[in-house]
Amino acid sequence: MNAKRGLILRIVTMFLVAMSSAATVCYAQSSQEPLPTVTNAAVPLYPRTADIVHIEGIVWLQVSTDGKRVSDVKVEGGPPMLAKAAADNVRTWEFSRHKPTTFKVKFNYKILPESGCSVDNSVVMLRLPIEVEVSTKGVHTCDPVEAVH
C-alpha cells in the first residue's frame, strides 16, 4: 500500500511541476512579477468530515512567499473546515527561486453525486499556483450483497 501511495505521490509531483510551469505566464495580482513555479506540494484532499456533513464551497487564500517557500497564508473567505484544509495544503508548497511575492489562490471543493456502492477517490485538478479544484463522490452506505441482486 505504501509503495502504491509513493508512486502516486511521485506522479502527482511530476504533474505539479508540469502544470505550474504553464502558470508562470500568469502574473501575480499584487505586482507585474510572474507567478512562481510550484516545484513540490502535497496532494490536496477533501476533508473527510466535510464530505460526511456535505460541506462544499470556494476558499480564497492570500499567499505570500519568501522566494522559495510559503511565508504567510491568510484566509480571505470560505467555509472554515475547508479553509483550514486549503491553508494547510498551501503551506506544503515549494517554489523555484523567485522574487518574494503575494498572490491569491482559489480552492474549489465540490461534492459530486453519490456513486452507489462503488468506492471512488477524490479528483484533484491543479492550475498552480492560482487554482485548485478538489471533488469527491458523496458518502453513501449500502449493502454490497443487495447491490449484486
Helix (H, G, I), strand (E, B) or coil at 25: coil
Q: d(Cα 102, Cα 30) in Å, to the nearest integer? A: 6
The yes/no answer on whether domain 2-148 falls in CATH 3.30.2420.10 is yes
At residue 40's C-alpha, the angle toward residues 14 and 95, to 5°, is 120
pLDDT at 17: 45
Scanning the chain, the segments in alpha helix (DSSP H) are 2-23, 48-52, 80-90, 144-148
pLDDT of residue 23: 45
Q: Are 140 and 67 in contact (CB under 8 A)?
A: no
- Per-residue pLDDT tens for 21-60? 444 444 455 457 799 999 999 999 999 999 989 999 999 9
pTM for this entry:
0.75
Q: Which residue in 84, 79, 99 sits closest to 28, CA to CA?
A: 99
Q: What are phi and psi of 84, to 5 degrees?
A: -65, -45
pLDDT of amino acid 6: 53
8 Å CB contact between 36 and 69 = no
Q: Which residue shows C-alpha cell 505566464? A: 25
Cα angle 45, 107, 34; round to 5: 120
Residue range 88-96: average pLDDT? 98
Other CB atoms closer than 10 Å to residue 20's CB: what's the count?
Answer: 24
Structural domain boundaries in the chain: 2-148
What is the spatial distance between Cα 91 and Cα 61, in angstroms, rounded to a whole number?
A: 11
**pLDDT tens per residue, range 105-146:** 999 999 998 766 665 668 999 999 999 999 998 766 666 666
